[in-house]
Amino acid sequence: MLQRWRSIHRLFFSLVLLTGLSVPAWASTTATITVGGSEQQINGAWDQGSLNLAFNGFVETIGYGEFSSPASIASAIAGKFSNDYAASGLCAHAVGSTITFQLQGSATFGQLTTSQPTSSFELFGASGWTGVGSSNLFITGLSLFQGPVQMGLVITGTNFGSSASSVTLNGVEMPLVSWGANSITAQVPAGATSGNIVVTVNGTGSNGIPFTVTGAFGCN
């Protein structure tokens, strides 16, 4: 009987080699999140801060400083989670600025809670979680990074809220055209000079994104 089982076993793996079939791996589930933003200077010094992630009882805080980038932070997050929680069935790896988390077996990813007490970087684009919680106010981009007075531009980001608040360019209030939780349209104000665009909600300011004020456009 044992000899017969060994023959069947050898036959199976011979078929695998000949046909290119793969042996099924252990089941797993995955979830992803992406690091965005760029290192900013605040009052002449490079911003320093941290990104915090917690889910399924796994918790990590990743610090950053000068020369950090979304890709380097993603790599650090993936490495730390893998090192600390591999024995619990969690693996993580980074490709560019996106981190993929993998749980072995039939476990699912629960609520992801993130905290971003930072002016430079954020976590966004979460996929595969039952929910995502974050209270951070963050600008992710501008439709244009330079332009003249009265030009309109779109500011995109997270947690702007549903009610209009305040947007400034180098400290000067920008006239608002529209306001949404993730998108604001505003105009370059008269008297404005080049500097950071900042969204303020309930007294809390976002990260600043540089904008250059240029001369007025004209037609020949």
What predicted TM-score, i.e. pTM, was given to this entire model? 0.57
Q: What's the CA angle centered on 161, arms 157 and 162, to 5 degrees?
A: 120
Ranked by mean pLDDT, the top range of 50-54, 66-70, 164-168 is 164-168
- Give the chain's radius of gyration (CA, Å): 24
Report how far apart the first and last C-alpha atoms of the chain are (Å, whole number): 94
Among residues of the chain, what percentage have pLDDT more than 70?
83
- pLDDT tens across 20-47, in order? 444 344 467 999 999 988 888 777 788 8
**C-alpha to C-alpha distance for 209 and 207, rounded to whole angstroms:** 7
Residue 31's identity, in one-letter code, is: A
Instruction: Phi first, then psi: give them for residue 83, nearest 5 degrees.
Output: -65, -40
Between the CA of residue 155 and those of 54, 120, 142, what are the distances in Å?
28, 16, 5
- pLDDT tens across 127-178, in order? 999 887 766 777 777 888 889 999 999 998 878 888 889 999 999 999 999 9
CB 49 within 8 A of CB 40: no
Give 93-126 as a DSSP string. EEETTEEEEEEETT----EEEEE---SSEEEEEE
Q: Is 192 helix (H, G, I), strand (E, B) or coil?
A: coil
Say if strands 41-42 and 28-37 run parallel, antiparallel, or are unpaired: unpaired
Tokens of 216: 């007025």
Give residue 194's Cα distance to chain centre: 27
